[in-house]
Structure 1
């Protein structure tokens, strides 16, 4: 998998249902309002999630919870 996954986030992502594999589209053909999370390895034939997104985001709610690490109090940036 090419995206960063923190073990602490795996349980959180399970609270949101994973998008259907039927929504997957080739990355080169993905539109402006679909999840760009790449499934598998990023190659010239990459396939992305394809689930609908809101507010111009790049990833659906399921994949956004996997990709982003929540901020922790007292963390130095």
Structure 2
């Protein structure tokens, strides 16, 4: 699955360390408080990041910076 990623967001995500591969877990077995970012192609046996998430969000800080686009200021007409 292709995702649109702006270069600026990618550069910001690079400042954070990517979570270790040791956290990765099959998506179907991921529990609460772990990053649900799918690594690779989504499929029946998809792996998710699995890094601990303390704030109850769906993604760790590294992947959240890739997934979400920062809000833009309102346009003045």
Report the TM-score when normalising by structure 1: 0.89
**What is the Cα deviation at residue 25 of structure 1?**
0.3
User: What are the ranges of 5 or more consecutive residues in structure 2 without an aligned counterpart?
Assistant: none
Distance in 2 of aligned mates of 1:54 and 1:4: 27
Aligned 1:1-77 pairs, distance under 5 A: 1-74=1-74
> Aligned pairs, how many?
75
Pair member with larger Rg: 2
Q: Distance in 1 between matches of 2:61 and 2:13?
A: 9
Normalising by structure 2, what TM-score? 0.89
Q: 1:10 to 1:53 in 2, by over 3 A?
A: same
